[in-house]
Amino acid sequence: MAFKSVSAFMNEIIDYAGIFPPASLTLKESFDNFMDYRLFKHNWILSKFVCPFSRLDELTELIDGSPSINNANPLRLTILGSLSLDTFMFERNILKDIQDIIKFHDTNGQKVSIEGFETKLPTEMLAFRESADLIDTINDFRDKIAKQISPSVQIFLETEIIKENWVDLIDSITSALSVCNEFYSEGQDYRKLGFKLRTGGIDHDSYPTSDKIAYAIMKSINNKVPFKATAGLHHAIRHINEQSNTLIHGFLNIFGAGILYQSKKISPDDMIKIIDDEQPQNFVFEDEYFSWNGYKINIEEITFARKYYMLSFGSCSFEEPRQDLRNLKLL
């Protein structure tokens, strides 16, 4: 039995994306894994199945062949939008993505629960467009998704931050999302738009430095924007991958930093320190609280931060995070 603090910290935290590297499974293998994981002892850690819009027809065939998916037990799903290199391509692609999702939704009915949509904004939309144009573009496709699919779909927008102007890009996207959330959803039962940060990848350059992650989390929370991480978070604690000689970020580090910042407003220096911390013993879970470096946070505070701010992370592995938690005697 996990401590209550572990249960609150890890509840539905992993969106399973087995088709992506390094796992690189087929969609069927990934789907079959997810269906198995739903029956595992620790299935409360699992959240949604991740599928690109371009694979929805293939996913429909898998759903049709799965007797355990039905109206009473739907597939919880996050759909990834297409990649766009510039503003024109984004505005064209987003309309096509939404139409494909509507078709998929109509085909599968209540056997699927589309709970998330994630797409990447071209950096030029953040760096060179007038903010009003950006906000109008975001709000327009949010309206389409809300009205034609469901207002409860959680939308996350991503941008590239492995660039010299990463501060401006984070400021721009979190500010735009904040404005949309505060002023453009009045009277509508919309989920808040969120910011998705890529925290790893297949090579050294894909891993953002700890100061970038800390800044992104703080700007998201300060702007009341939900945060999601993706990629590179297979393991609980930050460590060096011996094969690639790369420092790999830990999910206890990143989500611990966000949860503590939301509740205790820890300093930027401490945000970076917890994200950098490679010592598992510094992350303390007891039945009624989680603590790090003298900061202590109770179950209610953990639950609140996870529900509204530090939502989830995408991972191509479900086994590795669980095994790490077992090794740390947290499961």
**Residues 211-238: tens digit of each pLDDT:** 999 999 999 999 999 999 999 899 999 9
- What stretches of 184-250 show up as alpha helix (H) in DSSP? 210-222
Contacts of 203 (CB under 8 A, 6+ apart): 244
**List of residues 6+ apart from 61 with CB closer than 8 A:** none
Alpha carbon distance, N-terminus to C-terminus of the chain: 7
DSSP letters of 99-147?
Answer: HHHHHHHHHHGGGEEEEEEEEEPPHHHHHTS-HHHHHHHHHHHHHHHHH
The per-residue pLDDT for range 231-284, each reduced to its tens digit, is 989 999 999 877 767 889 999 999 999 999 999 999 999 999 999 999 999 999
**Strand residues in 11-71 grouped as ranges (E):** 14-16, 46-52
Backbone angles phi, psi at 118, to 5 degrees: -130, 135
Strand order in the sheet with 283-285: 283-285, 289-292, 295-298
Asked if the model's pLDDT at residue 130 lies above 80, the reply is: no
Average pLDDT over residues 285-294: 95
Phi, psi of 150 (to 5 degrees): -170, 140
Q: What pLDDT is stored for residue 221 in this prediction?
A: 98
Strand-strand pairing, 75-80 and 46-52: parallel
- Give this prediction's pTM: 0.95
| 73 pLDDT more than 80 | yes
In the chain, what are the domains? Answer: 4-327 (3.20.20.70)
- Cα 298 from Cα 164, distance rounded (Å): 38
Question: What is the overall mean pLDDT for the chain?
Answer: 93
| pLDDT for residue 301 | 98
Helical residues (DSSP H) of 283-331, grouped into ranges:
299-308, 319-327
pLDDT of residue 162: 73
**How many other C-beta atoms are found inside a 10 Å radius of the C-beta of residue 53?**
19
How far does Cα 123 stand from its chain's mean position?
Answer: 19
Confidence class for position 105, pLDDT limits 50, 70, 90? very high
Give the model confidence (pLDDT) of 154-208 as tens digits: 999 999 887 788 999 999 999 999 999 998 766 678 899 999 999 988 777 788 9
Neighbours of 20 (CB within 10 A): 19
**pLDDT score at 128:** 62
pLDDT, one tens digit per residue, over 25-40 is 999 999 999 999 999 9
What percent of the chain has a predicted confidence (pLDDT) above 90?
A: 84
Give 295's strand partners. 292
Q: How many CB atoms lie within 10 A of CB 295?
A: 17
Q: How far apart are CA 331 and CA 327, in angstroms?
A: 8
C-alpha distances in Å from residue 40, one per residue of 33, 62, 71, 76, 124: 11, 20, 21, 16, 43
Q: Which one has a higher pLDDT value, 95 or 162?
A: 95
